[in-house]
Amino acid sequence: QTREGKLQVELARTAGVEVVEVHTQLRQKYDPRTMIGRGKLDDILLTLGRHELDLLILDPSLSPAQARVLSELTPVRIVDRTMLILDIFAQRAQTREGKLQVELAQLKYTLPRLIGRNSFMSRLMGGGTGGRGPGETKLETDRRRVRERIDRLDKQIDQIASQRAIQRQKRKDRRIPVVSIVGYTNAGKSTLLHALTGADVLMEDKLFATLDPRTRRVRYPDEEEIIFTDTVGFIEDLPPDLVRAFRATLEELEQADLLLHLVDGSDPGNDFKRLQVEAILDEMHLAHIPRFTVYNKSDRMPVLPAAETRDLYVSAVSPPTLVPLVDRILTFFKKKRPRHDPKRTRLETKRTRRPPAKAAADGAVLE
């Protein structure tokens, strides 16, 4: 399988789909009507009939016209890449904010595909994978009702964004530095947040195990306080509607004083994923924020790079490996503090009496 094919299979399994067979096609350009071409479609139809399957997942995402044509040519429900990711997000959303954001993204993606009560909509977004969230009855309503719902959701999410802005301003007024953990999905961000702060977060070896952001404030010795946050994991070709819907969540990154770019060091394809995340950060205009690249899962790496590298290698499940990371974070903020700041003076005088290696173990979670 290609890298894209493996990712799509992993997404499908994360959504709870049993993958029976994978078809790959190399084309110079996509077929404008069916994306995959009639010959490949005939092969897929034979596979669907032979195994008596009831779901066809296509990558990449379909245009409304392609989805409509394929729904007329196939006897099963169709889910494309965007719908599959939205389905995973719908399963993962736990908070009211997360559920609103997923529903908004689903409705905006559905609106141009909403053509009435016909086989297209029932096959495309019927119950099960790809149809969670707003629900089948909502997706079968007319365009006017869908637009009204989108308007209401936009207003509610705007309120959430305003509330988050107030919270960020309070942090800024208190001059508490913020460290945001970013990275490709399944890099171990939630596990690292738990290791650094003791936060009670979901930790699973699955794509998009965490959807709702978590924020925890930790006080280290010498009155040094730091707020750690994590957010939804990145992935290549993340649907634009999803990025827009989660703007209230992603705006948290804009206020970060430091980004920890977490990379799965045990993943053979981590260079590609690291570059993907860096490109997304650039697109979000976050390249100006200082950034540490941290390679996680060092316990699964056969060989660690030379010690002189600027990158950090940790295992979020092994607290001793986090000591250099915490010490570098504390040093970073100490250097940023004005020289006349009394907190900096206390930190410099007291640090000489405390071994840096104790930094990771000395933090106290405040919230």
What's the pLDDT tens digit per position in 304-325?
776 556 789 999 999 899 999 9
Length, in residues, of the chain: 367
Q: Is the pLDDT of residue 155 over 70?
A: yes
Q: What φ, ψ does residue 313 adopt, rounded to 5°?
A: -120, 120
| For residue 358, pLDDT beyond 70 | no
- H or E element at residue 253: helix 247-254
**Residue 346: per-residue pLDDT:** 47
* pLDDT tops 70 at residue 286: yes
Reported as a pLDDT band with limits 50, 70 and 90, residue 197 is confident
pLDDT, one tens digit per residue, over 44-93 is 999 999 999 999 999 888 888 898 888 888 889 999 988 888 888 888 77
- Per-residue pLDDT tens digits for 175-192: 889 999 999 988 888 889
The burial class, CB within 10 Å (0-12 / 13-18 / 19+), for 355 is exposed
For the ranges 253-257, 294-298, 314-318, which has the lowest average pLDDT?
Answer: 253-257
The C-alpha atoms of residue 100 and residue 83 are separated, in whole angstroms, by 16
Mean pLDDT of the chain: 79
Kindly state the percentage of the chain with pLDDT values over 70.
75
Supply the pLDDT for residue 342: 53
Q: Which helix (H) or strand (E) holds 228?
A: strand 224-230
- The CATH number that domain 176-365 falls under is 3.40.50.300
Strand ranges (E), the chain: 55-58, 77-80, 178-183, 214-220, 224-230, 258-264, 291-296, 312-313, 364-365
In the predicted structure, residue 336 carries a pLDDT above the cut 90: no
Are both 3-146 and 176-365 of the same fold? yes
Return the half-sphere exposure (C-beta side, CA atoms, 13 A cut-off) of residue 228: 28
In whole angstroms, give the CA distance from residue 343 to residue 349.
10
Q: H or E stretch including 328?
A: helix 323-336
CATH architecture for residues 3-146? 3-Layer(aba) Sandwich (3.40)
Of 215, 207, 214, the C-alpha closest to 184 is: 207
Q: Is the pLDDT of residue 123 over 50?
A: no
pLDDT at site 328: 93
Write out the two tokens for 280. Answer: 């997304």
What pLDDT is attached to residue 341? 58
Q: Can you give the pLDDT at residue 99?
A: 87
Which pLDDT does position 138 carry in this prediction? 47
Give pTM, 2 decimals.
Answer: 0.76
Helix/strand/coil percent split, the chain, to 5:
50, 15, 35
The pLDDT assigned to 348 comes to: 45
**Where exactly are the structural domains of the chain?**
3-146, 176-365
